[in-house]
Structure formats: C-alpha cells, structure tokens
Amino acid sequence: MSREDISRREFIAGASLSGFAVVAAGAGPASAANTERSIVGTSTKSATDKAKKQAESVHRVLEFGDIGDAVAGKFSEEALENLEKNPNVRYTEADGQMEAIGETLPWGIDRVDADEVHADGETGGDDTDGEGGADIAIIDTGIDDDHPDLQANVGSGKAYVNCRGSNCNYPWSDDDNHGTHCAGTADAVDNSKGVIGVSTAATLHAVKVLDNSGSGSFSDVAAGIEYTADQGWDVGSMSLGASSGSQTVKDACQYAYDKGVLLVAAAGNDGPCSDCVGYPAAYSTVIAVSSTDSDDTLSSFSSTGSEVELAAPGGDVYSTVIGGYDTYSGTSMACPHVSGAGAQLMDNGYTNTEARDQLTSTAENIGLSSNEQGNGLLDVAAALGGSTDGAPTVDSLSASEVETSDGDAEFDADWSVSDADGDLSSVDLVLTQDSDGSTEDSATVSVSGDTASGTTRLVAAGDDGSGNSYTVEATVTDGAGNTGSDTASVSETESTSSAPAIDTFSLTDNSNPAWERYTVDWAVSDSDGDLSSVTVEMLDSGGSVLDSASTSVSGSSASGSDEVRTKGNAAEIELTVTDDAGNSTADSKSV
C-alpha cells in the first residue's frame, strides 16, 4: 500500500500504540500542470493501447467505464494527427490547467442554519443509513491532517501532486492552505474550539490534485474525480476551476455522477459578470455554487449564469488553514458549505440525485436573480427537515425512435417511478432538442400509489430524417410537492435514402389509323434496395393523362414493358419510378 492510501484515522491509532509518527517521503506523482502534455480520449481499449504506443511518454491513463478512456501524455504533432483519424478516438485536447478558485467566522455556518441540525444531533457521521457515516472528498490542494479541528475526521487520501515543504506528513497533505480552508467549512469538528463545519463528523478525504501554487492539470483533476468515484465516496467538493472546459474532466464528472457521487463546485470568481460560470461547475452533473456576503447580497467577485443551482456564504469566511485559522473570500468558500450539507443528506440515506433535488428544492429565496442565486441560498435545516421518504424517484427512463410516415420525429419514452410515501401525483415529460435547447413536446401523466410506469409518445414536428439529437426529461411529483427527475438521450435517424434511377427508357411506336399505341421498355434500380413501383403515363399537350400503366417492383433493380394507347392526340410519355421511402425519379419523351 502506498503512503497516500493509508487512512489518517488508522495512522493516528497506529502512532498512539507505537509511540512514534512517520513522515512520508517526497517521491511520487508528477507535477500538477504541464502545458506540453495532451490528452487523447478513446472509446475502445484497442484505441487506448494505440494512444499509449504513440505517446512519447504517458502521464496517466483514466478509465471512465462505458464513457471511454483518456490517455494523458506527451505526443508529437504527427502522432496526434494520426490518432485523430482513428474513428475510436473521441477527442484530443491540451492537458490544460485548473486553479484553486479564490480564497471566511463561520457566520456562514449560522446563516445556512447548520447549527440547528447540529443541535438535533445531525453530524454527517451518524451512520443513519446503516452504511457508515458520509465521506467527503476535498479535491483540492490537500488537507492539514494535524489540524486540531480536522484531525479526528481525516481519513484516507490520494495524491496526484505531491505535497512540498515541511508540513507534509503524507503526499496528500496541504502545502497551500486552500484545501484545508475548504475542509474546515465542510466538516470541522464540533470540539468547542476553533471553528465548526456544516457537517462535523463525516470522514474527510484529501484528494490532492493542485500543487502549492493552487494549480493542477486537467488530467490530474480528472484522475482525482475518477478516484473519488471508485472509492464509493459520497461527495466530491471542488473549489477549483478553469474558464474553458475539458472533455476529459467532463467525462470524469459524468463517470462519478453515474456511480453515485454528489459533485459540488465553485462557480468562479470572475464577477461582476454574466454567463461566466467556470468549469467543472458548468457541467450538468455538478452543482454550481455562487457566493453571497453576510447581508445576503451577491459577492462582487462571484461568477453568475444559468448553471448556478445554489448560493452559499463565500465572503469573509473564517476557517481552518495549516496550523491555524484565517478569513478568506471566494466561491471556493461557498462550495464546501453545500458539500457539507450534501454529506449530511447522504448520511441520512439520500442518493446523490435525491440529495441534489433536496438541496435545491429547500433553498431559501433571498431575492437575487436565478442567474445569481440559482434556486436560492443553501438552507441546511430545511433540507434535513424533510424525510428521506419524501422525495419520489424516477427509477428508470429510456427513449426510442418510432418509425412513422407523417414527417415527424416521434419517440416513445418508457418510464417507471416510485414513492415510499405512496402519494405519487404526476409525471411530467419534456422533449428538448440538444442543439438549441428548444422544447419540442411535453406531456403530463397523472399517477397515484407508490409505483407507476408507462410509455408516453413525444413528437418533434417536421423533424423526420433530420438526424437531430434530443433529451427526454421525466419529473415525478408527489402529493407534498416533492420531486425527482432523470434524463435520457435519444437521436432521430438521419435520412440517408437515395432516389431510385431510370436506367433504360425506350419507346416502340405501334400506332395504326385508329389508335396511337406505344410499347414502353424500361429498367430501373435503387441503391437502397427498396424499389416500390414504376408508372407509365401517356399525356396530352395540356398534361392530362390519356392512359397509364403501373407495375409493383421491389429490390434493387427491375425491368419490364408496358403498353399505353389513346384515340386522342398524345404529346409525351412519362416514366416514374418510386421507392419505399417516397423518393422518386421521372423522365419523359415526346411522341
């Protein structure tokens, strides 16, 4: 076992028995940021192997399950160009950099009513759900494992960037203060000294992805998120970010979200600004948190945008730092308030999606715009006041394309929902187009009892054959107004059917004094193999049909002969071939 995998709680126990402490050696993971590195995202193991072979050196390989893999390393331009031609390479990107987002008395702990749940015995470490207390990963610069307000709560850790300096008991120890400050807000011990966290007895895990200057690479941040998911920890707290997104980090967030991790991130400190939420906070799998001051106004530095889900105290927050305490400001300080609250809920049996819904549905409206406060200011007491049975759940949701002939893109959404209280009320389904977010269709289904399921048809009018992709969102509501939701993706098959062709079209004049009569010899083909019919029409000069013949055909080629005749004056003969998709080709000859 490497030093960074030893539990701090286990280590304290061992040290007390043996009478000495151990200081970890400095060798270990590489530095946090390297602008010469690139990341290659793959969809198959063979493509991953090819990327590793093409790399001059491999920094790390990330595995995101069904999403795919990512290989971070140094690649030549030629290697990247070759890899980009591989259909199983999803993307290539520079291994960019993320930063700790800005740097306060726990006035914030009081403002979000965390002290009220402490008085009720809620600590985040109560093992309320029978699965042990909650686990919070501080994905940051590390944690001061010797701090008196944190020591009892610090568990195992992992370093992707080694601690540097004299305070490094472990590779994942803090050498910057930022991670320790966030850890104190989320989960400082209630020990009548120093500060107190939103949660007070959850297990803290230092996942060190940022160096002593607060910087870290995309691949190291993604590795930390992946590790958090693989450990089965409840909350991933990310007071870090970048102004531009990374597919690798996005994949890591999706992987963790799918494995049940509640992801929380700082919105960013680019304010005053609009639509400026950073990444990973802007990803749909992450709760983006903006910052407020003690008077409930938006902090001047806080980023805002439609991705913000919650606001929390971030101005002048007093918390732990290495060997002491200090006051910092930033959305970095707001983020761990929500992380600690999420840990409290998950200790009470909530899943990550249920905890997210509970936090947002119980938030306090403080009068800011939705881009500033999201659903409102975090209210821990209100969130913990609801029963874990109160929120209904969408147990399954899938969508499939339905083939029709009316020109619309139609989908069947199959869903099932449940509610432990037995007071299901309704299921709302919404179909949106991914390219522009427009709503194509919606439906509401009344339900009751403790379980329900069904299939609902949703239609995107006029989109048949478009190849567009869509998202179906199902929201279940119970009689108390509690909700649960889930989404599913579906694509409309792009029409690739081609028109049939006329290969041969010839006329033989068999007319006599009484009749104009022509034999039409024809041959047709269709590359799609779905020939349907061939029609021969004799027309007068005004385009009226004097006579016609029709033949049913199939497959990819057909030939035949038809006779048309009239006692009138024919002007032309037209041949039309049609396929099953309705595509047609016509030709005519004058007579």
Exposure string over 56-74, b if 16+ CB within 10 A, otherwise e:
eeebbbbebeebbbbbbbe
Look at residues 167, 143, 178 and name the one whose alpha carbon lies nearest to residue 157.
Answer: 143
Q: Give the Cα separation of 585 and 207 in Å (integer).
A: 65
Look at residues 30, 7, 40, 389 and name the one whose alpha carbon lies nearest to residue 205.
Answer: 7
Concerning whether 588 is annotated as a catalytic residue, the answer is no
**Can you list the alpha helix ranges (DSSP code H) found in 395-434?**
none
Q: Which amino acid is at 337?
A: H
Choose, from 59, 147, 178, 337, the residue flagged as catalytic: 178
Choose, from 95, 135, 140, 379, the residue flagged as catalytic: 140
Instruction: Give the number of other Cβ atoms within 10 Å of residue 143's Cβ.
Output: 33
Concerning whether 118 is annotated as a catalytic residue, the answer is no
Q: Give the Cα separation of 462 and 409 in Å (integer).
A: 7
Q: Indicate the pairing of strand 469-478 with strand 424-433.
A: antiparallel
Look at residues 124, 92, 358 and name the one whose alpha carbon lies nearest to residue 233.
Answer: 124
Residue with token string 């009749």: 515
- DSSP, res 364: B
Instruction: Give the number of other Cβ atoms within 10 Å of residue 555's Cβ.
Output: 10
Residue 538 contacts residue 523 (beta carbons within 8 Å): no
Residue 17 contacts residue 184 (beta carbons within 8 Å): no
Look at residues 215, 268, 240 and name the one whose alpha carbon lies nearest to residue 95.
Answer: 215
- Cα–Cα distances (Å) from 325 to 72, 175, 177, 203, 318, in that order, read 37, 15, 10, 20, 7
Residue with token string 């803090």: 174
Choose, from 239, 246, 332, 485, the residue flagged as catalytic: 332
Concerning whether 332 is annotated as a catalytic residue, the answer is yes
- DSSP, res 341: H
Question: What tokens does 33 get?
Answer: 């940021």
Residue 22 contacts residue 41 (beta carbons within 8 Å): no
What are the catalytic residues?
140, 178, 332
